[in-house]
Amino acid sequence: LNAFAHKLHTEANAIPAPLGYGSPPYPKSICTSLNDVICHGIPNDKPLKEGDFLNIDASCILDGYIGDCSAMVAIGKITPEKQNVMDVAYECLMRSIAILKPGLMLNEIGNVIEGYATEHGCSVVNQFVGHGVGLQFHEPPQVPHHRNDIQIPLAPGMIFTIEPMINAGVREGYIDPENHWTAYTKDGKPSAQWEHTVLITDSGCEILTLLKE
Predicted confidence (pLDDT) at residue 213 exceeds the cutoff of 90: no
Give per-residue pLDDT as tens, 156-183.
999 999 999 999 999 999 999 999 999 9
| Greater model confidence, 69 or 211 | 69
Give per-residue pLDDT as tens, 93-117.
999 999 999 999 999 999 999 999 9
pTM for the whole structure: 0.95
Q: What pLDDT does 64 receive? A: 96
CATH 3.40.640.10 given to domain 2-207: no
Q: What pLDDT does 211 receive? A: 80
- Per-chain mean pLDDT for the chain: 97
Q: What pLDDT does 49 receive? A: 98
State the DSSP string of 135-176. Answer: SSSSEEEEE-SS------B--TT-EEEE--EEESS-S-EEE-
Give per-residue pLDDT as tens, 111-131.
999 999 999 999 999 999 999
Q: Which residues of 1-22 are buried (b: 16+ CB within 10 A; e: fewer)?
A: ebeebbeebeeeebbbbbbeee
Helix (H, G, I), strand (E, B) or coil at 26: coil
| Segment 37-59 mean pLDDT | 98
